[in-house]
Amino acid sequence: MSERIALVVMGVSGSGKTTVAAMLAGRLKVHFLEGDDLHPPANVEKMRGGTPLTDDDRWPWLRAIGAWLDEQIEAGTPSVVTCSALRRAYRDLLREGRPEVSFLHLGAGEDLVADRMSHRVDHYMPVSLLHSQYDTLEPLQPDEPGVSIPVDGTASEVLRRALAALGLSDLVIEHEGDPS
């Protein structure tokens, strides 16, 4: 794993960003940050109340993630962070001055994600906001550094798919169970 890597695991809420990013970070033995932890309390309350965030709400949060990436890159610490990064402009901000940053887009149909979200407990993002995320989503473009993978299947299957897409298949263990 390159000392210069900074991977942003992106996608709509409920696509499995936290699960996949934590598994990747564990497998690669790199630092991990749940990007949602950097949301200002006002953003969390807004989402909890069923109100979608605006760009004005998101910019400070994205800058906080960028600052964390800067710290990791400056220290030479490989890292993985979660961030919805739904629009190209958000990803451009995360990459600005950071050539090390690349993206892993976890793609899934809205029905699958809605089903997953309906079974989550203790998360502030309601299923009612999911459609607004799909409306906002701009998939990775060919000139953006990163790969997209589908998230159907078990967590271990998605991890294997992610490692393969990232060119890290040699780190796959064939008979690994899903974490509980």
Q: Give pLDDT, residue 54.
A: 87
- The reported pLDDT for the residue numbered 165 is 94
According to the model, what pLDDT value does residue 121 have?
56
Question: What local confidence, expressed as pLDDT, does residue 46 receive?
Answer: 86
Q: How many whole angstroms separate alpha carbon 80 and alpha carbon 108?
A: 20
d(CA 42, CA 47): 9
Q: Residue 149 has what pLDDT?
A: 95
Cα of 120 vs its chain's centroid, Å? 17
Neighbours of 140 (CB within 10 A): 19
Cα(142)–Cα(29) distance, integer angstroms: 28
Beta bridge partners, 6, equal 79, 101
Specify the amino acid at residue 109.
G
Domains, the chain? 6-171 (3.40.50.300)
Per-residue confidence in pLDDT tens, the chain, 180 aa: 445 579 999 998 778 888 999 999 999 899 999 998 999 999 888 887 888 888 899 899 999 999 999 999 999 999 999 999 999 999 999 999 999 999 999 988 666 665 665 555 565 555 556 667 778 889 999 999 999 999 888 889 999 999 999 988 765 444 344 443
